[in-house]
Structure 1
Amino acid sequence: MLPGERALAPDLARGLMLLFIVLSNTAFHLTAARHGASGWQPVDGGWADHAVQFAMITVLDLRIYPLFAFLFGYGMMQLFLRQTAAGTSERQAVRLLRRRSLCLVVIGLLHATLLMAGDIVGFYGIISLALGWLFLRRGDRALKWWIWIATAQFVLLAAEPVVSAALSGDLGTMGDAGAEPGAEAYAAGEGNWLAAAGTRFTSGLFVTFAAAPLSLVGGAYVIFLLGFWAARKRVLEEPGRYLPLLRGTAVIGIAVGWLGALPAALAHVGAISVPDDAQSEGGVLTLLRDATGNAAGLGYVAAVALFVHWWTGRAGRRRGAGATTDDAPNTTITTVTASTTNTANTANTANTAITAIAAVGKRSLSCYLAQSLIFAPVLAAWGLGLGEHLTSATMALFAVGVWLLTVAAAYAMERAGRRGPVEVALRRVMYRN
């Protein structure tokens, strides 16, 4: 990779992440759906809806936030290293990132209040304030120690309630199946925009100023620190140097993440019978699903890095093969050209698709907010109210369509050489120019 060249893997991962996020955010817009003990995914619908619900719980729910967190930490450290390499002092670079974090908190609260209560930008803004101050300037040795400390903290605190309930014989009754469904905090079913905005503002305050600090106490910040470490080692810029690590992380991480969510998914669709409390948001199945989410998020990042390594190597081999055929006799060139036309066209199409998805990743904040700008007014009861008439399967199709719109817009900006509008505004505030 040439100096100054932008790495494909982080941008491609962010672009795919936004597809996963928009899919994950579909459930609470299904305002007419009946929610079960889990309080999140609906339990009604046909076989296609149940298939979507099963896939969401297994593959996406609380598996994408860790992916976001890792990439967020990776990007923070990248920016810090670029600033210090350009001659900025470490103290000034941390101050610059602090200003960025404060901007993200403001953006997140506005986003939550105006459009989508489940905003995560403000959440990560708070976490990045603390972690940037505490860890950006620490050495590799200290960073590794804190990664192990945070991992132990996370595992012990996640396991403690389950172990306590198991020892007391209350594992099946752990949780609260009678609690208000979590989707209610998003107020998508509220017909009055002002009332819905009040609920969203309250939810946004909780997520930003309560859930974020609690995640620091609970050790969930380990995923950010892993992003810091990986950025220092340039894992996503130079995946070829870390193939064993990436392969192991992809296989083990995805397997642990999916297997950890499988009991909750099976219970949700009625394939296994468990007490309602066990399926609730505080139940053992949900805790198991959440605790294994970090593994899945890391596995997804590693899988994208491996794909990029394979894809760039394949592109290099194609270029090498083309150079070889130039020296061959004319008859051979004609034969090779005729036989490889379809392959070349397919490769060009794939290149365009990858470039377009990576363009979304370069403008991830703009595209993330644009998704809500489409979703909320069209689906919420205070807007057009389309969410009342959709099911899990049709809502997923709608979500993919919204993501494709952002892909098309980002690709158009990429071809025009333009940054995302929110990224431009954020840079102006950060650099005060």
Structure 2
Amino acid sequence: MTRLVIQPAAGSPGAATRLSDRSLAPDLARGAMLLLIALAHAHMYLYGHPTGFRGYRLDGSVIDRVVAGLQVLLVDGRALPMFAALFGYGLVQLANRRYAAGADWPDVRRLLRRRSRWLIAFGFAHALLLFFGDILVTYGLLGLILVGMVQARDRVLLRVAGLWILVYAAIATLPAWAFITMGSAPLPTSAESPIEAVGQRLVVWAGLGPMLALDIVTPFLLGIWAARRRLLDEPGRHRALLTRVAVGGIIVTILGGAPLALIDAQLWTDWTTATAIPAYVLHGATGIAGGLAYAAIAGLVAHRFADAPGPVATALAACGQRSLTCYLLQSVGFVALFAPYSLGLGGRLGDAGASALAIVTWLATVLLAELMRRAGRRGPAEGLLRRLTYGARQPLRPNEPSR
């Protein structure tokens, strides 16, 4: 079994890693990933129009169709695996810090499970109040159920990760078939009041959550494997491997995503059930390669700017250090912009307009995270999650953001 303890974390055993001691690549990847998350989610807040496989408008303009095709190709089903890989990577980092502090595996397992349960609570509140497509519950469930994989042998990790792609491919045919035969269900974003929206969100979230969990088992396990080798902590040592993953992953995800992208961009209009279902499944399965490629690219960029990150990389890393806070703030912004009971832009914009606002919203969170970094403040959601996980016995230092 691969030994998990790599290097003791700086600072006291219960304290968060100091900013100066943190690796740039994981934080940079999380900050950039939130842009993909924003793009993947924004169009789901639109309402009043028929939608296709991935929730894009069927009656949009030419620019809307171009945006839909590009996002299906490069964003949808690619951001989620990237997030899952980084989540698995982060669990190993957390376990290593506890091992370095003298904890044994039962203590580490209890900590990881407690953190996962609180993530589930955060995610339920997010789905209840803001967004039916919450992913925090999904990651919390993975951390709760698959925590033992943190200690699994490399051979077991890789075998399960590979076999799960086949399991996912088999199960993913069901939602594709249901959509083709019954059409797309209306998204719970057209409710006229916040109270009505709560019920609609929970119904859709309850059906969507299990499928999201099936999507990310493989990248979650591969993230654990990568963390053991410190691929993102020491990208210079693994530059050749990261380059292969980046290049190969992008090629695979483009080739695998192209059929569904052509359908959603309405360039392939004579598709049938026999061709659309494989396109849907192939899109999801090859999205794993895309998510891993994006994480690898972040590692290569971090290596390039390791000595002098510059203001852009520093701000992105600050966003990544506060990824939970920024993720939740995206949903707050989207509800304020799109919901019928707020500004109501969801009923007036197309996919291109939604994506433009997604970029603006993400930039606002990056700016806010950078301001918090300069003020020496951690993200409020990260601070709350840590206090709930560790209790009052192990407080954060005021100027140290948590992972």
Q: TM-score, normalised by structure 1?
A: 0.81
Distance (Å, rounded) in 2 between the aligned partners of 1:266 and 1:45: 15
Query: How many residue pairs end up in the alignment?
Result: 375
Distance (Å, rounded) in 2 between the aligned partners of 1:374 and 1:276: 38
Give deviations 1:17-71, integer Å, cap 9, x for gaps: 11110110022212133324x2511123323222211111100011110000000
Give deviations 1:237-292, integer Å, cap 9, x for gaps: 10111122111100111110111111111122232333253676xx2211111111
Give deviations 1:344-378, integer Å, cap 9, x for gaps: xxxxxx71111111101000000000111111132
1:17 aligns with 2:13: no
One-letter code aligned to 1:149: V
CA pair 382-272 structure 1, distance change in 2 beyond 3 A: same
CA pair 310-417 structure 1, distance change in 2 beyond 3 A: same
Give deviations 1:68-110, integer Å, cap 9, x for gaps: 0000000111001011101122211211111110001011011
* Mapping of residues 352-431 of structure 1, within 5 Å: 352-431=311-390
Counterpart of 1:181 (choices 160, 184, 202) is 184
One-letter code aligned to 2:265: V
Q: 2:400 aligns to what?
A: none
Q: 2:3 aligns to what?
A: none
Q: 2:157 aligns to what?
A: 146
Distance (Å, rounded) in 1 between the aligned partners of 2:168 and 2:141: 21
1:122 aligns with 2:137: yes
Distance (Å, rounded) in 2 between the aligned partners of 1:207 and 1:82: 34
| 1:109–1:205 CA contact under 8 A, matched in 2 | no
Distance (Å, rounded) in 1 between the aligned partners of 2:144 and 2:382: 19
Distance (Å, rounded) in 2 between the aligned partners of 1:76 and 1:284: 33
Structure 1 segments (4+ residues) deviating >6 Å: none
Counterpart of 2:123 (choices 94, 108, 122) is 108
CA pair 105-242 structure 1, distance change in 2 beyond 3 A: same
Distance (Å, rounded) in 2 between the aligned partners of 1:401 and 1:153: 36
Give deviations 1:161-188, integer Å, cap 9, x for gaps: 87xx9xxxxxxx9664243425x24x11
Give deviations 1:381-433, integer Å, cap 9, x for gaps: 23221111111111111111111110111000000111000111111111111
Q: 1:247 aligns to what?
A: 243
Distance (Å, rounded) in 2 between the aligned partners of 1:86 and 1:47: 57
CA pair 41-279 structure 1, distance change in 2 beyond 3 A: farther
Any idea what SS the aligned residue of 1:177 has? helix
CA pair 207-44 structure 1, distance change in 2 beyond 3 A: closer
Distance (Å, rounded) in 2 between the aligned partners of 1:375 and 1:273: 31
Give 5+ residue unaligned stretches, structure 1: 166-172, 316-349
Distance (Å, rounded) in 1 between the aligned partners of 2:24 and 2:257: 30
1:54 aligns with 2:85: no
CA pair 83-3 structure 1, distance change in 2 beyond 3 A: closer
1:33 aligns with 2:49: yes
CA pair 374-80 structure 1, distance change in 2 beyond 3 A: same
Q: 2:265 aligns to what?
A: 269
| 1:261–1:288 CA contact under 8 A, matched in 2 | yes
Q: 2:196 aligns to what?
A: 195
| 2:9–2:100 CA contact under 8 A, matched in 1 | no
| 1:109–1:204 CA contact under 8 A, matched in 2 | no
Q: 2:230 aligns to what?
A: 234
| 2:189–2:339 CA contact under 8 A, matched in 1 | yes
1:308 aligns with 2:302: yes
Any idea what SS the aligned residue of 1:34 has? coil
One-letter code aligned to 1:308: A
Counterpart of 2:151 (choices 137, 158, 168) is 137
More helix by share: 1
| 2:157–2:222 CA contact under 8 A, matched in 1 | no
| 2:24–2:306 CA contact under 8 A, matched in 1 | no
Any idea what SS the aligned residue of 2:55 has? coil
One-letter code aligned to 2:31: G
Q: Which 10-residue stretch deviates more, 99-108 or 370-379?
A: 370-379
CA pair 278-378 structure 1, distance change in 2 beyond 3 A: farther
One-letter code aligned to 1:361: G
CA pair 353-310 structure 1, distance change in 2 beyond 3 A: same
Distance (Å, rounded) in 1 between the aligned partners of 2:177 and 2:230: 43
Any idea what SS the aligned residue of 1:239 has? coil
Q: 2:399 aligns to what?
A: none
Q: 1:222 aligns to what?
A: 218
Residue 311 of structure 1 deviates from its aligned partner by 2.1
Q: Which 10-residue stretch deviates more, 188-197 or 293-302?
A: 188-197
Residue 379 of structure 1 deviates from its aligned partner by 0.5
Q: TM-score, normalised by structure 2?
A: 0.87
Distance (Å, rounded) in 2 between the aligned partners of 1:35 and 1:110: 27
